[in-house]
Amino acid sequence: MEISPEKSLWFMFIKGDLNAFSSLFKHFYPMLHGYGMKISGNTELTEDCLQSFFIYLHDNKDKIGEVTHVKSYLFISYRRALLKVLKKERLYSTFNETMENNMGFVFSKEELSSKQETIKLKSTALIKILNSLSTREKEAIYLKYYSNLKTQEISEIMGISYQSVQNTLQKAFTKLRDKSESDALHHILQNS
């Protein structure tokens, strides 16, 4: 069985290799930062928490041990750390309440231009449609298409079942399709 580069890097990191730790940091920091910004909407809090998270990893590498899926482990662990900080700052009460009502999980033009998917709408219209989804739906789409995680990994990160992730993604795509078709029809009727 072939060992992935991430898993090999992780193994070297837990054995104390500083270059491996530096490589993990450089590789995963941007992804985790983007995800943290989606959850907290606060740059300073996201960066402070992410730096504390990497310090925690470094200081506790002997206790952490081997990890099967490095990327999903880091997303899960960082998400927990960030939600813990948000809870301490009284910005977080319960997962559902916060995810659905308080968090600024919003897509930007930059994300859409760097990861153009099959939807062929102008980016501003697509942003509007994406941002009309529930926060949970936006988070699932972000993790699937912008962080390139598998459904099982998303399930672990979000703390919901595999089937719930599939259902959430399906609902999101149904809403996206219906909304884009409705907007396209409305545009055609206005211009005729």
Picking from 53, 75, 104, the residue at the C-terminal end of a domain is 104
pTM across the whole model: 0.68
Provide the number of structural domains found in the chain: 2
- At 119-145, the pLDDT tens digits run 444 566 677 878 889 999 999 999 998
Amino acid identity at 22: S
Domain holding 138: CATH number? Answer: 1.10.10.10
Quick one: pLDDT at residue 118? Answer: 40
According to DSSP H, which parts of the chain are helical? 5-14, 18-40, 43-59, 61-64, 70-88, 95-97, 109-114, 123-131, 135-141, 151-158, 162-190
What is the full DSSP assignment across 66-78? --S-HHHHHHHHH
* Same-domain check for residues 56 and 83: yes
Picking from 104, 125, 153, the residue at the C-terminal end of a domain is 104
Return the percentage of the chain with pLDDT > 70, whole number. 73
